[in-house]
C-alpha cells in the first residue's frame, strides 16, 4: 500500500497535499496496489472529498496537539501509522513540513529516501526515482535499494489530478509523544498565496530602480491574480520582504507562469525559477542572459511595458 502524508496548516489541508495524493495514487496504480492517506490533527473541511485525488481511505489521528507542527512528533506518528497499516511506499509533498519529516520517517523505517522527486518511479528494473539536483540545473535518477521507500514530491512537478469518488475516513488510534516545542506566535501574511504554491508569479529585479516603483508590478500581479517575488539584491536592499527572494539561495519555485521584470537572469537566480512551465522576460537589454531561458521575451522599458501588459490583461478579462 502507498501511504500519503496529508499536510495541514491551521486546520486547512495544504494544496501541496493534493499533488502528493495524485502522485501517490498514480504510483499505487503502477504498483498494482491502492493509495491511502494519513492526516494528523483535525481540519475544518471534508476529508472524504480527498477521494477525488485518488485515496480510498484516509486515516486520521485526531489529537488536537497535532495541529501544531513538530517534526519529531509528526515523524514518530507517521512512522507508527506506516508500520501499523503496512505501507511499503510513503509519499510526502516536498514542502516545508514534508521536507522536515520525510527524512526522519525514512530513518525510522530503514527506508531509502528520494527527496524532491519530479516524476513517477521507473519500476521495471528496481525502483528508480528522478529528482532535480544542482538547484534545478540537472536531474539525477536514484535507485532506492530498500524494501520500504520514502519519496517527497517536488511541488508543481507532477500536477494535481482530479477524478471522482469519496474516501472513507477512519480513526487511527496511536500514541502521540509530547512536543518539546512551544509555539509562541504565528505571523502570517493574510490573503496571500504562499510563493511555493502559486501558479502565477510576477517577479521584479534591480531594473525597477527602487521600492517606490513596485506599484506597476503589484498592479500586474493583481490583474493576473499572481503572487509576487523578487531577485536577491532587491530583498537584500529591503525593497521587498525576504520571503519573496527566489533563487539558489532563496526559495525555489515552479509556477505555471513566471514573469521576470528587470531581472538580468544570473545563474543563481535561474536556479530558483527554471522549472517554471512558462517564463516571460521583460528587460530593456536585448543581451540580458534571462532571454536564453525564456519562452517569451519583451525587449523594452519595464515602466512602459508593464502597465501596457496589465491593461491588456484587464481588457482580455473584461472581454472574456
Residue 263 contact partner, candidates other proteins, ligand FAD, none, CB within 5 to 8 A by sort of partner: ligand FAD
The DSSP bridge pattern shows strands 12-13 and 8-9 to be antiparallel
Q: How many CA atoms lie within 13 A of 152 on its CB side?
A: 22
Residue 233 contact partner, candidates ligand FAD, other proteins, none, CB within 5 to 8 A by sort of partner: ligand FAD
Q: Which is nearer to ligand FAD, 41 or 297 (CB)?
A: 297
Could you give the maximum distance between any two Cα atoms of the chain, in Å?
Answer: 62
Q: Map residue 232 onto helix, strand or coil.
A: helix
Residue 311 contact partner, candidates ligand FAD, other proteins, none, CB within 5 to 8 A by sort of partner: other proteins
Q: Exactly one of 140, 146, 301, 308 binds ligand FAD (CB under 6 A); which one?
A: 301
Q: What is the nearest approach in angstroms of ligand FAD to the Cβ of residue 305?
A: 7
Q: Which is nearer to other proteins, 30 or 72 (CB)?
A: 72
Determine the interface stretch with ligand FAD among 49-57, 96-104, 184-192, 300-308 (rule: CB under 6 A).
300-308
Residue 171 contact partner, candidates ligand FAD, other proteins, none, CB within 5 to 8 A by sort of partner: none
Q: Which is nearer to ligand FAD, 155 or 264 (CB)?
A: 264
Residue 231 contact partner, candidates other proteins, ligand FAD, none, CB within 5 to 8 A by sort of partner: ligand FAD
CA 95/CA 259 separation, integer angstroms = 23
Under 8 Å CB-to-CB from 281, ≥6 apart: which residues?
Answer: 260, 263, 265, 288, 290, 291, 293, 294, 296, 297, 298
C-alpha cell at 143: 535507485
Q: Exactly one of 29, 161, 174, 233 binds ligand FAD (CB under 6 A); which one?
A: 233
Q: What is the nearest approach in angstroms of other proteins to the Cβ of residue 33?
A: 21
303 binds ligand FAD per the rule CB under 6 A:
yes
Q: Map residue 320 onto helix, strand or coil.
A: coil
Q: Which is nearer to other proteins, 136 or 262 (CB)?
A: 136
Q: Which is nearer to ligand FAD, 223 or 246 (CB)?
A: 246
C-alpha cell at 160: 494535481
CA 210/CA 270 separation, integer angstroms = 22
DSSP-derived letter for residue 54 is T
Q: In whole angstroms, how far apart are CA 108 and each of 77, 83, 142?
A: 11, 10, 20
C-beta of residue 38 within 8 angstroms of C-beta of residue 81: yes
For the chain, how far is it from start to end, CA to CA, in angstroms? 45
268 binds ligand FAD per the rule CB under 6 A:
yes
99 binds ligand FAD per the rule CB under 6 A:
no
Q: Which is nearer to other proteins, 165 or 296 (CB)?
A: 296
Q: Exactly one of 34, 99, 206, 222 binds ligand FAD (CB under 6 A); which one?
A: 206
CB atoms inside a 10 Å sphere around CB 20: 28
Residue 111 contact partner, candidates other proteins, ligand FAD, none, CB within 5 to 8 A by sort of partner: other proteins
Residue 123 contact partner, candidates other proteins, ligand FAD, none, CB within 5 to 8 A by sort of partner: none
Number of residues that bind ligand FAD (CB under 6 A): 26
Sign of CA dihedral 102, 103, 107, 110: positive
Q: What is the nearest approach in angstroms of other proteins to the Cβ of residue 78?
A: 11
C-beta of residue 168 within 8 angstroms of C-beta of residue 48: yes
Sites of contact with ligand FAD (CB under 6 A): 205-207, 231-234, 247-250, 262-264, 266, 268-269, 272, 282-285, 288, 301-303
Amino acid at each position: 500500500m502507498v501511504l500519503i502524508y496529508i499536510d495541514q496548516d491551521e486546520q486547512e489541508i495544504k494544496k501541496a497535499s493534493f499533488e502528493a495524493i495524485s502522485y501517490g495514487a498514480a504510483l499505487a496504480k503502477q504498483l498494482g496496489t491502492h493509495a491511502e492517506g494519513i492526516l494528523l490533527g483535525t481540519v475544518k473541511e471534508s476529508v472524504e472529498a480527498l477521494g477525488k485525488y485518488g485515496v480510498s481511505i484516509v486515516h486520521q489521528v485526531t489529537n488536537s496537539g497535532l495541529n501544531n507542527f513538530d517534526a519529531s512528533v509528526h515523524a514518530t506518528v507517521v512512522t507508527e501509522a506506516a508500520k501499523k497499516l503496512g505501507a511499503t511506499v510513503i509519499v510526502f509533498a516536498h514542502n516545508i513540513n514534508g521536507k522536515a519529516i520525510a527524512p526522519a520517517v525514512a530513518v525510522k523505517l530503514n527506508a531509502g529516501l528520494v527527496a524532491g522527486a519530479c516524476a513517477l518511479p521507473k519500476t521495471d528494473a528496481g525502483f528508480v526515482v528522478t529528482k532535480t539536483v544542482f538547484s534545478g540545473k540537472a536531474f539525477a535518477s536514484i535507485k532506492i535499494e530498500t524494501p520500504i521507500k520514502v519519496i517527497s514530491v517536488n511541488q508543481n512537478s507532477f500536477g494535481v489530478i482530479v477524478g471522482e469518488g469519496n474516501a472513507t475516513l477512519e480513526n487511527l488510534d496511536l500514541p502521540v509523544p509530547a512536543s518539546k516545542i512551544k509555539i509562541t506566535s504565528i505571523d502570517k501574511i493574510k490573503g496571500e498565496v504562499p510563493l511555493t504554491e502559486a501558479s502565477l508569479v510576477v517577479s521584479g529585479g534591480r531594473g525597477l530602480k527602487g521600492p517606490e516603483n513596485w506599484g506597476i508590478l503589484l498592479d500586474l500581479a493583481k490583474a493576473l491574480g499572481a503572487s509576487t517575488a523578487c531577485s536577491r539584491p532587491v530583498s537584500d536592499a529591503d525593497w521587498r520582504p525576504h520571503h519573496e527572494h527566489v533563487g539558489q539561495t532563496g526559495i525555489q519555485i515552479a509556477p505555471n507562469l513566471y514573469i521576470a521584470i528587470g531581472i538580468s537572469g544570473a545563474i543563481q537566480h535561474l536556479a530558483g525559477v527554471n522549472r517554471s512551465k512558462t517564463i516571460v522576460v521583460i528587460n530593456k537589454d536585448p543581451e540580458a542572459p534571462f532571454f536564453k531561458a525564456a519562452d517569451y521575451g519583451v525587449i523594452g522599458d519595464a515602466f512602459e511595458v508593464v502597465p501596457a501588459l496589465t491593461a491588456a490583461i484587464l481588457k482580455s478579462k473584461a472581454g472574456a
